[in-house]
Structure 1
Amino acid sequence: MVDINMFRAGMARLGAAVNIIVTDGAAGRHGMTASAVCSVSDSPASLLLCVNRSARMHDVLKENGRLTVNVLASGQEALSSVFANRALDMETRFAMADWTMLDHGVPALAGALAAFGCIVRSTMEMGSHSIFLCEVEHLLLGGEEPGLVYFDRQYHALPMRAAA
């Protein structure tokens, strides 16, 4: 078995986009910062995200069944920290940014590089987390600011590809 601290050190070397996941519905509005998001397929367009079952977001997301994955741009590090701060209530978190309502009833972050409006199609458990398989129903593309990635426990800007 792999030592948990060694595993975490290894994962710190796996760079990932920084996202704010939000949900809204019967269970209420909730949001959190996450890097455990990736594409599954383009037919149908789908993503997966991993959420710790002990996180407040987990049960709210499961009940609401809809979410938006907001891909952050460089310069949105402070907002990422706000949505990662467990001491802040949801009203305070959401008040720190501007939002647009998507057709599926969940807000999208103004200024995000991309906002994927999704419906949860299935969930499975692995260890401490649930894996949410989500079909993309709506997509908004933002500007061409540098992307925000998390690598070696720090934020880094990732520039857009230069025009040819």
Structure 2
Amino acid sequence: MIHAEVFAAAVSRFARAGMVLTAAWRGRRHAVVLTTGQILAADPAPIMVSVDRRHQIYSAIMRSRALALNILGDDRTALAANQREHADADEDQLFAAGEWGMSEAGLPTLVDAAATLECHVETTTGIGPHVILACRVEAIRLVEANAALPQAGLASVRA
């Protein structure tokens, strides 16, 4: 189960900087910069994300039913700007802009993201070229130290 304090700490970072949505399918990583995410509730931690179905990441998300929201810290706004600028470039070039790892679930994660939320896609709703993904948060990774969290420094919680 996701702890409400960890979830609140992670989503409070949405407004600080951009977010990089990542997914993987059959060994290929995908990424796109998001400008916003919608929080529905703190327990059981569902979120909504809008994705352009014309982007390569959409297909990977729909096949794997999994995604990661990498919430950037204030010092990573250049990464978001770089990815927006190269949105039509090969995705491998986009991953060259930061240090990336893979989560236990096989999702690309930005090593120094302020927070990473690993999610399972529960339902989808199409609106024009976009699809709204309603997702259940299954794991949260916080990088910054915060004494109010269950663990200081690095908090990693799986549902």
TM-score range, shorter-chain basis?
Answer: 0.7 to 0.9
The equivalent residue for 2:72 is 72
1:116 alignment partner AA: L
Q: TM-score, length-normalised on structure 2?
A: 0.73
RMSD: 2.0
Q: Counterparts of 1:99 and 1:16 in 2: how far apart (Å)?
A: 21
Please report the TM-score for the alignment, with normalisation by the length of structure 1: 0.71
Answer yes or no: is 1:110 the counterpart of 2:99: no
Letter in 2 for 1:53: R
Q: 1:103, 1:138 within 8 Å by CA — same for their partners in 2?
A: no
Name stretches of at least 5 consecutive residues in structure 2 with no aligned partner. Answer: 1-14, 146-159
Quote the Cα distance in structure 2 between the aligned partners of 1:113 and 1:124: 29
CA radius of gyration, larger in: 1
Identify the structure with the greater strand proportion. 1
Q: Is the 8 A contact 2:67 2:118 kept in 1?
A: yes
For structure 1, the residue ranges without an aligned partner over 5 or more in a row are 1-14, 145-164
Q: How big is the shift at 1:25?
A: 2.1
- Residues 105 and 27 of structure 1: CA distance in aligned 2, closer, same or farther (over 3 Å): closer
Give the whole-Å Cα distance in 1 for the aligned partners of 2:101 and 2:29: 14
Are residue 57 (structure 1) and residue 36 (structure 2) matched? no
Q: Which residue of 1 aligns with 2:5?
A: none
What is the distance in 2 between the residues matched to 1:27 and 1:39? 29
Q: How many residues align?
A: 130
What per-residue deviation string (whole Å, max 9, x for no partner) do you get for residues 56-83 of structure 1? Answer: 3222221221111011111212211232
> Identity percentage over the alignment?
25
Letter in 1 for 2:89: L
Q: Name the residue aligned to 1:89.
A: 90
Q: Which residue of 2 aligns with 1:45?
A: 45
Cα drift, residue 27 of structure 1: 7.5
CA contact (8 A) 2:71 2:114 kept: yes
* In the alignment, structure 1 residue 126 sits paired with structure 2 residue 127: yes
1:16 CA drift (Å): 7.5
